[in-house]
Chains A and B, each alone.
Chain A
């Protein structure tokens, strides 16, 4: 765990979240940013609680370290992301056709663009990884 950097990041989430909520309450910014601030605040607090537990409980630290270092877990995580990406492309491709059929041309075009973007990102990643390994 690159703990120090992550703790600083978690504290930063809490601070940014609190600032956004404060600005929202003062009606300087709208509800979208206040909502985002609340999200950041909750994520930051949860992360800090996790770090605290990580440092205080040896049993929990061992469990977390094993989970992070476990190669099967890393393999599953990577596979799950691959499936997610593949399914996302399929869903967007089908949606772009379906949206065109029901006359939602703007949304259909947006879905097609996202499919193109994902495919470009895939090929870019493939080329980089192909050079790296």
Chain B
């Protein structure tokens, strides 16, 4: 699933390390999320959206094609 994590994070001037610490995950996890290599659980997705003060839909881009992967 595509997402806007990297763009939003950079827009807000947050470093990956700082963001990882706030989400209680490793920096590699943030990197994998940003590259779209790893899809987060609903809990982490919610936590990320809440951290950015946005909705899940604002951060994660739902693509019908992803459902059939």
- Complex CA gap A75/B33 in Å reads 13
- Complex CA gap A73/B38 in Å reads 11
Q: Tally B residues with Cβ within 8 Å of A.
A: 12
**Complex contact A73–B29 (CB within 8 A):** yes
- Complex CA gap A75/B25 in Å reads 13
Known A71-B41, A71-B43, A73-B26; 18 more pairs at CB < 8 Å: A65-B24, A66-B20, A66-B24, A66-B25, A66-B26, A67-B26, A69-B24, A70-B24, A70-B26, A70-B29, A71-B29, A71-B40, A71-B44, A72-B25, A72-B28, A72-B29, A72-B38, A73-B29
- Complex CA gap A57/B13 in Å reads 29
Closest residue to A72 on the B side, CB-wise?
B29
- Complex CA gap A71/B26 in Å reads 9
Identify whether the interface residues of A are mostly helix, strand, loop, or mixed: helix
- Complex CA gap A71/B48 in Å reads 13
| Chain A residue contacts of B32, Cβ below 8 A | 72
In the complex, what's the smallest C-beta–C-beta distance from B67 to chain A, in angstroms? 19
